[in-house]
Amino acid sequence: MFRVSIAAFVAAACVCSSALAGDLKTASDLRDKALGDTTAWNILESLTTEIGARPIGSPAYDRAREWGLAKLSALGFSNVRIESFPKPTWHRGVESAEVIAPFPQKLAIIGLGNSLPTSKNGIEAEIVVLKSYGELLAAPEGTFKGKIVVVNQRMVRTEDGSGYGAAVRARYGDSEAAKRGAVAYLVRSVSTSQSRAPHTGTADGAGPHIPVAALGVPDADLLEHMAVRGPVRIRLHLASSIDTKAVLWNISGEIKGSEKPDEVIVIGGHLDSWDPGTGAIDDGAGVAITMAAAHLIDQLPKHPRRTIRVVLFGSEENGGSNVAYLEAHKGELSNIVLASEADLGSDRAFKLELPDGVVRTPEFAGLPTLLAPLKIFVASTAPGHAGSDIESLQAAGVPVFSFHQDASRYFDYHHSADDTLAIVDPAQLNQNVAAWASTLYLLADSAIDFRVKPIP
């Protein structure tokens, strides 16, 4: 139903846009075609069905690489390639936790990436429940000697996903707990849902390290309720191992530019995922949106001037892709004229940010009209952080653009078993493809040199 009503609205809007310049006409045709196109859905359905979860270093990760190379080739991308890099990888083992006393209950937990394992017999200790991460930081060293520290800090739901930044700090708290004497650290899942499925992620404390896991949201509340009544003892088992010889990768394919093939716009998503779900929104969606957008542009009678390169980054969740990508492309850095990443799920985009000044050029004066039927506004601000996998490029001076997506639901599912194709809305997925395809076409075909600052 959503798709039907958007299509009708776009059809009406196209009457007014018939007076647009030639390239805006191509862009609006791309936008309209994308809304009814099934490429992105098919990519995402294929990835989640045929591969599923694909944590780095797993057999499924190897299959994902082959899937990515085959899919890029099948869609007609040129210069399909793989760039490998070494990185020690963490592998989850069997995990469990339970309240021993006074109220025996099983707990839903999931170990955080890079957590230390417990001993085979597990850790059995009394818990201390803190309602915020600030309470942990405020405690003197040694305060929690021999205890398992539990931080039950709530995450706030926001459209732009900004509640995540505040909440995720607690997930990096294992070292702070260790400094204060804790023998293990349990953190409320960084989630806006009330599902019992725990949400994983990395534990990135600087050290010292202790075993660390996320509790299901109701389980964190449960421990808080129990602790009000008196001492609570829990038993925690976390098994894991490190493969020091793992080889990871980034893979990519191109839509070659018609006039300036050496000037490259790097876009993409990440193909690795966490293990409990099937990685549909994190980040199968970003892979699907950017591949589909580039594929639609590839089908035009004439390619835009510059080359569009879609990179399927191979290690976002545990980091590594972005540094490896910069290292491998230092030689062509001055030719990477723009970069962007889609990594905030499959729900609709509501805002576009372009490099400072671009929005005020005559060439891009038609852009707000182009994106208005998609209910996306073009911001006058330049992007901040535009994606984990391109942050090294960005730091090295590559200009970036950024679509902001509605993240209201994203953190209900992200990094949990609930990240599956079942939660993807095909109409919203295609709204993203329409926005990317039309905007990307204009950027790739633009006469503006985005590397010049300020834009004239």
Candidates 195, 318, 321, 340; binder of a copy of itself (CB under 8 A) is: 195
Q: Please provide the size of the chain in residues.
A: 456
Q: Is 126 among the residues that bind a copy of itself (CB under 8 A)?
A: no
Q: Binding residue for a copy of itself (CB under 8 A) from 222, 238, 342, 370?
A: 222
Instruction: Please give the residues from 333 up to 362 whose contact with a copy of itself meets the rule CB under 8 A.
Output: none
Residue 190 within binding range of a copy of itself, rule CB under 8 A: no
Instruction: Kindly tell me which residue out of 34, 197, 292, 437 binds a copy of itself, with binding defined by CB under 8 A.
Output: 197
Is 230 among the residues that bind a copy of itself (CB under 8 A)?
no
Which stretch in 53-61, 68-76, 169-177, 381-389 sits in contact with a copy of itself by CB under 8 A? 53-61
Query: Known catalytic residue: 316?
Result: yes
Among 157-165, 223-231, 251-259, 344-352, the segment contacting a copy of itself (CB under 8 A): 223-231
Q: What is the DSSP letter of 204?
A: -
Question: Which tokens hold the place of 343?
Answer: 């990594």
Which one, 102 or 208, has the nearer CB to a copy of itself? Answer: 102
Gap between the Cα atoms of 4 and 187, Å rounded: 43
Rounded Cα distance between 155 and 165, Å, is: 9
Query: Cα dist. 271→41, 67, 282, 314 in Å?
Result: 15, 10, 9, 5
Residue 126 vs residues 105, 149, 152, 171, 234: alpha-carbon distances, Å: 15, 9, 16, 20, 6
Residues 82-111 that bind a copy of itself (CB under 8 A): 102-106, 108
| Number of Cα atoms under 13 Å in the Cβ half of residue 300 | 28
- Residue 196 binding a copy of itself, by CB under 8 A: yes
- Determine which one of 316, 341, 353, 391 is catalytic: 316
Cβ closest to a copy of itself, residue 184 vs residue 222:
222
- If one asks whether residue 221 binds a copy of itself (CB under 8 A), the answer comes out as yes
Under a CB-based contact definition with an 8 Å cutoff, are residues 13 and 372 in contact? yes
Tell me whether residue 159 or residue 221 sits nearer to a copy of itself (CB atom).
221
Q: How would you label 385-394 residue by residue, b for 16+ Cβ within 10 Å and e otherwise? A: ebbbbbbbbb
For a copy of itself, the closer CB: 391 or 418: 418
DSSP-assigned letters across all residues of 90-142: EEEEEEEEEEEESS-EEE-EEEPBTPPP--TT-EEEEEEEESSHHHHHHSPTT
Give the per-residue contact string, 267-286, with a copy of itself (x = CB under 8 A; - = no).
---------xxx--------
How many residues at the interface with a copy of itself, by CB under 8 A? 36
Distance of CA 223 to the CA centre of its chain: 30
Of 209, 227, 29, nearest to 131 by C-alpha is: 227
Cα first-last separation, the chain: 44
Rule CB under 8 A: choose which of 4, 22, 59, 120 binds a copy of itself. 59
Part in contact with a copy of itself (CB under 8 A); list of ranges 78-86, 123-131, 132-140, 216-224: 216-224
Query: How many Å apart are CA 86 and CA 83, to the nearest integer?
Result: 11
Torsion angle, CA of 58/64/69/75, rounded to 10 degrees? Answer: 180
Residues 371-390 contacting a copy of itself, CB under 8 A: none
Q: Which is nearer to a copy of itself, 98 or 356 (CB)?
A: 98
Q: Among residues 10, 30, 60, 182, which is the contact residue for a copy of itself, using CB under 8 A? A: 60
Residues 422-441 that bind a copy of itself (CB under 8 A): 422-423
- When binding is defined by CB under 8 A, the residue of 218, 261, 357, 426 that contacts a copy of itself is 218
Question: Three-state DSSP class for 46?
Answer: helix
Residue nearer to a copy of itself on the CB measure, 93 or 397: 93
Q: How far is the CB of 240 from a copy of itself (least distance, A)?
A: 17
**Contact yes or no for 274/202 (Cβ under 8 A):** no
Binding segment toward a copy of itself, per CB under 8 A, in 17-25, 195-203, 297-305, 362-370: 195-203
Answer for the pair 178, 205: CB distance below 8 angstroms, yes or no. yes
Residue 52 or 366: the one with the smaller Cβ distance to a copy of itself is 52
CA atoms within 13 A on the CB side of 441: 29
Annotated catalytic sites, by residue? 316
Which spans of this chain sit near a copy of itself (rule: CB under 8 A)? 45, 48-53, 59-60, 102-106, 108, 194-197, 216-218, 221-222, 225-226, 229, 276-278, 417-418, 420-423
